[in-house]
Amino acid sequence: MYSEVFAHFDSSAPAPSNGGILAGKRVAVQSLVGVRGWPAAAGPKALRGFVPLEDASVVRRLKEEGALLVGNTAASELGLGICGDCTARAVQEGHADIVLMLDTMGEARMAAAKAGLCGFKPSWGRVSRFGLLGLAPSMECCSLLARNPNDLAQAFRTIEGMDDCDPSMVAVGEARDRPGNGSPSKDLTAGIVTPLLEALSPQERNAFSRAIANLQDAGVTIREVTFKDQGLFSVVHQVIASVEASSSCGKYDGVRFGHRAQGAKNWNEMYLETRRESFSSLLKAFLFQGAYFQFENYPAFENACRIRARLVQENRKLFESLDLMLLPMQSTLHDANQARTLEQLYNAFPFTLLANVTGQPALSLPSVFKCGGQDMGLQVLGPFLGDEELLSWAQTLMVQGEEAA
Amino acid sequence: MTPNYEAVVGLEIHVQLNCETKMFCSCPNRPGDEPNRNVCPICLWLPGNLPRFSMEALEKATLACLALNCQIQKESAFDQKVYYYPDLPKGYQLSQFHRPLARNGWLDFARDDGTRQRIRIHKIHMEEDVARLVHEKEGRTTVSLVDFNRAGTPLVEIVTEPDMRGPADAMEFLRSLRIQLRYSECSQCSMEQGTMRVDANVSIRLRGSDALNAKVEIKNMNSIRHVGDAIAFEIDRQIACVKAGEPVITHTRLWDPDARITSPMRGKFDGPCVPDPSVPRILVEDEWLQGMIGRMPEMPGVKAERFMSRYQLTREEALQMSSERDVSRYFEDVLKQKAPARLAAQWIGTQLLPLLKEREETLENAALSPNRFAELLIMIEREEINANAARDVLRRLLESTASAGEIVEQCGYRQVSEAGELAALVDRVLAQNPSAVENFRKGVAKAMGFLMGQAMQASGGKANPRVLKDLMTEKLSSYST
């Protein structure tokens, strides 16, 4: 099954001889995480023939800590959605212990939930974006999938931290001023955003309530919280991410790298043909939407940015009295694996894109929230830059949840 | 121009900063090198790369803003100016559209009638330059080639208020701007070499009105003179339009320097400007800004005033000695060697600088140290050599390492001022040129010049002209009585 999962499989890679905290760990990366010399061929046609000249900073750090890079995996188109993405299978099928995958609206967490794995999207700004071939810089984050939270924590410790190649990162010192930070209280307080649960089926809603009740029984304090504009997370994400995608896809012009259309009479025609051939209709729809807000309806984009800033503030405020926020990962009403239009896509990620909008860290945990025998995945969100605390609670929650279930 | 109309002109000036590196990567900032030598994954914008803003670009841009009396903004940021063109690797240009580095500046210049005119600067922002496109024919096929050496090199764009009233204002303003910016050592500011590019926005209105009418942008001028010519042409064209009852429509025109006309160009698409998520906001701290202010030299206006009051230079001399930083430095270094100030200013301005230009040298790289030059000036002042001889000595100073005194001795340039010696010489010349003497007596003024020339020649160029002239006048007047 290697050929389905991997775009490039490095069977000859020697195990690194130096030690390091990841010594002996096999790591695969989604082919949108650049590895020097490995073709990024599994993405869109636009990237065909493009071979990164340098390792992504996250890859360089993994290698330095002794990880064995086994290959890169077939990816969805520039990380939008999970259709056709085989990254999670690398762990699920035992080819790797840890995989790295972009998370723009929840893809990495969703892939983890569907494969029964743990998935972790760190806080925006804690992991270098250098070498990532994504779409929406302010939304996406290089994320981690593994069988257990411990591997996630180790891999996170390896890849996080300031990087000269990415000046947009956030210094952790800046945000360590939250009351109670650094010393996780024994008693966890978790918030539930009840109105968001309307995206679940009635049966799933009941199952979610049961899962939460189990955690409550295990000693977690549960509080219901609301955002003033929780209905706007999705639209804010869509407006801003599509605008950023439109900008970041400007480089796919066939001039310097990647695919170039043949037979054009002049550069303008070459340019248009190249882009016509380079993107799928899903991505084109996304790019058109972004271009619409850029060129035709800029005030809507400005509004989205303002609303986002308000949601971020509201979220920070909520976390002054919360340790965690608990949300479902998905609903069976809308399957992310089948999402082939923008509408289907946004319907399939109603719970996860919240953390991409706010930039806060989020985990997808298996075995805690089940419905009708199916593991739905529980999403646990931590405070912005509180990545370590969130990871340290993950183990507790899984044990408590599993025992209760 | 018809007396009924006046022109309203504003300028947008792109200035290439003389940084070592490009604005967002460490490639050398040398656009003129062999094509595509100075490129890297960042400025080619290969997937996965991120801009790394150069501190040097911020410093040089800040110097430019300070030189134009602008208020540096505490917080500024980069936007993406979106348009699609092969010279733009990202599909957008990083530029400070919404939040520029500086606002509210001004710059004064003197009009021909001596009045001072203040031009307000609306804003100055940083941006990266685009690649250079070359369109060629390969047989019958047109090919477009891209040279990315220039892509990502650092620029500032200076936007003035529409405070100029015609071509002369624009030209004087640009000359003044160039002097200010060169002083701050942030750019060479050469329109001919493309390190300064100027677009002009021109509109007209009835005199006395304060309306801002539809403006036309003109581009493609590659000298300050062309800017003036293009604006003058455009004003006349717009007046002709209005008189013919045609409205002036906002559009862009290109200056054709050969035909000396402007002609409409295809409308350039004005794309949107979206905040860039990858370049961090620029926060200017007071301490840093004070450091930059401390790096600013005494600016030319202040310096010229000081030269007039301290060294008693005329305004013209003071302006010439202060217009370039290296000239003013050299001038004051020469004065430190006790050379007389006005003589130094005159000799630097009328002799040394033209000579260096002719020899394609600069004050920096020429072999003439201030103390060697000062020695020459002191000899002129003491009338040990005359001006003719001094010009020869100056040439020899540039060609050797000998001192002025040594050259004068070796070549026998020492001036003859001894009256007895010169009197004999004058007598001889007058005796040899009786017709000129006769002419002089008849009142032909030119005759005096001729006789002086003959006498100077007879002295081998070494006669003290003042003593010679006194003697000549004295002798001739005795002839005429």
Contacts of A168 in chain B (CB under 8 A): 50, 277-280
Q: Does B142 touch chain A (CB under 8 A)?
A: yes
Contacts of A295 in chain B (CB under 8 A): 82, 271-272
Residues A130, A60, single domain; the answer is: yes
Phi, psi (5° rounding) for residue B180? -60, -45
- Number of domains forming the structure of chain A: 3
Complex ipTM over 0.90: yes
Q: Which residues contact B97 (CB under 8 A, 6 or more apart)?
A: B79, B81, B125, B273
Residues A106, A182, single domain; the answer is: no
pLDDT, residue A184, reads: 46
Cβ count near A318 (within 10 Å): 17
Q: Are strands B196-206 and B154-160 parallel, antiparallel or unpaired?
A: unpaired
Q: Is B51 in contact with A253 (Cβ distance < 8 A)?
A: no
Residues A141, A188, single domain; the answer is: no
Smallest Cβ distance to B92: which of A47, A247, A305?
A: A247
Whole-angstrom distance, CA of residue A261 vs CA of residue B137: 21
Identity of the residue numbered B2: T
A45 token code pair: 């046609």
Contacts of A303 in chain B (CB under 8 A): none
Q: Does B146 touch chain A (CB under 8 A)?
A: yes
Contact A102, A29 (CB under 8 A): no
- Please name the residue ranges forming H helices in A68-163: 87-92, 107-115, 149-159
B443 token code pair: 């009142």
Instruction: Pick the range with the lowest mean pLDDT from A225-234, B236-245, B472-481.
Output: B472-481
Q: Does B143 touch chain A (CB under 8 A)?
A: no
Whole-angstrom distance, CA of residue A169 vs CA of residue B120: 38
- Please name the residue ranges forming H helices in B313-418: 315-322, 325-336, 341-347, 353-358, 370-381, 387-399, 404-411
Q: Does B469 touch chain A (CB under 8 A)?
A: no
Residue A265, classed as helix, strand or coil, is: coil
Q: Which of B382, B303, B373, B314 is nearest to B344 (CA)?
A: B373
Contact A325, A191 (CB under 8 A): yes
Residues A161, A186, single domain; the answer is: no
Whole-angstrom distance, CA of residue B306 vs CA of residue B297: 14
Parts of chain A with a pLDDT under 70: 1-2, 13-18, 41-44, 174-186, 401-405
Residues A193, A90, single domain; the answer is: no
How far off is chain B from A25, nearest CA to CA, in Å? 25
Contacts of A52 in chain B (CB under 8 A): 46-48
How far off is chain B from A139, nearest CA to CA, in Å? 10
Smallest Cβ distance to A131: which of B48, B80, B86?
A: B48
The answer to whether residue A326 sits within a structural domain is yes
Contacts of A131 in chain B (CB under 8 A): 48
Contacts of A258 in chain B (CB under 8 A): 47
The answer to whether residue A306 sits within a structural domain is no
A213 token code pair: 């009740």
Contacts of B48 in chain A (CB under 8 A): 34, 52, 54, 56, 130-133
Determine the residue among B42, B58, B79, B82 to mutate to test chain A binding: the one whose Cβ has the most chain A Cβ atoms within 10 Å. B82
How far off is chain A from B18, nearest CA to CA, in Å? 23
Residues A19, A134, single domain; the answer is: yes
- Please name the residue ranges forming H helices in A201-359: 202-217, 233-248, 267-278, 281-291, 298-318, 342-348, 353-358
- pLDDT: is B110 or B318 the higher one? B318
Q: For position A209, which CATH number holds?
A: 3.90.1300.10
pLDDT confidence tier of residue B469, bands split at 50, 70 and 90 = confident
pLDDT, residue A177, reads: 45
Residues A249, A368, single domain; the answer is: no
Whole-angstrom distance, CA of residue A360 vs CA of residue B276: 20
A1 token code pair: 């099954």
Q: Which residues of A touch B (CB under 8 A)?
A: 34, 40, 47, 50, 52-54, 56, 129-133, 137-138, 164-168, 243-244, 246-247, 249-251, 253, 255-258, 266-267, 271, 294-295, 298, 301, 305
Residue A214, classed as helix, strand or coil, is: helix
Q: Is A256 in contact with B46 (Cβ distance < 8 A)?
A: yes
Does residue B417 register a pLDDT over 80? Answer: no
Contacts of A243 in chain B (CB under 8 A): 274
Identity of the residue numbered A26: R
The answer to whether residue A189 sits within a structural domain is yes
Residue of A nearest to B269 (CA): A295
Q: Are strands A6-9 and A68-73 parallel, antiparallel or unpaired?
A: antiparallel
Residue A334, classed as helix, strand or coil, is: coil
The answer to whether residue A378 sits within a structural domain is yes
pLDDT tens for each residue of B197-217: 999 999 999 988 888 888 999
Residues A188, A132, single domain; the answer is: no
Architecture of domain B419-480: Orthogonal Bundle (1.10)
How far off is chain A from B53, nearest CA to CA, in Å? 8
Q: Is B82 in contact with A247 (Cβ distance < 8 A)?
A: yes
The answer to whether residue A244 sits within a structural domain is yes
pLDDT, residue A182, reads: 42
Residues A136, A8, single domain; the answer is: yes
Q: Which residues contact A283 (CB under 8 A, 6 or more apart)?
A: A44, A77, A78, A80, A245, A249
In chain B, CATH 1.10.10.410 sits at 419-480
Structural domain span for residue A75? 2-172
Q: Is A52 in contact with B44 (Cβ distance < 8 A)?
A: no
pLDDT, residue B61, reads: 98
The answer to whether residue A334 sits within a structural domain is yes
The answer to whether residue A305 sits within a structural domain is no
Residues A136, A161, single domain; the answer is: yes
Phi, psi (5° rounding) for residue B403? -80, 165
* CB-defined contacts A:B, below 8 A: 94
Chain B residues 217-276 within an 8 A CB cutoff of chain A: 271-272, 274-275
Residues A98, A144, single domain; the answer is: yes
pLDDT, residue A13, reads: 67
pLDDT, residue A16, reads: 64
Average pLDDT estimate for B250-268? 86
Q: Which residues contact A40 (CB under 8 A, 6 or more apart)?
A: A7, A31, A32, A34, A47, A50, A51, A52, A72, A133, B47
Contact B438, B476 (CB under 8 A): no
Whole-angstrom distance, CA of residue B134 vs CA of residue A36: 32
Smallest Cβ distance to A257: which of B46, B86, B280?
A: B46
Q: Does B49 touch chain A (CB under 8 A)?
A: yes
Residues A220, A244, single domain; the answer is: no
Does residue B120 register a pLDDT over 80? Answer: yes
Spell out the SS3 assignment of B211-264: CCCCCEEEEEECCHHHHHHHHHHHHHHHHHHHHCCCCCCCEEEEEECCCCEEEE
Smallest Cβ distance to A294: which of B46, B274, B277?
A: B274
Contacts of B279 in chain A (CB under 8 A): 167-168
- pLDDT: is B471 or A334 the higher one? A334
Contacts of B50 in chain A (CB under 8 A): 129-130, 165-168
The answer to whether residue A304 sits within a structural domain is no
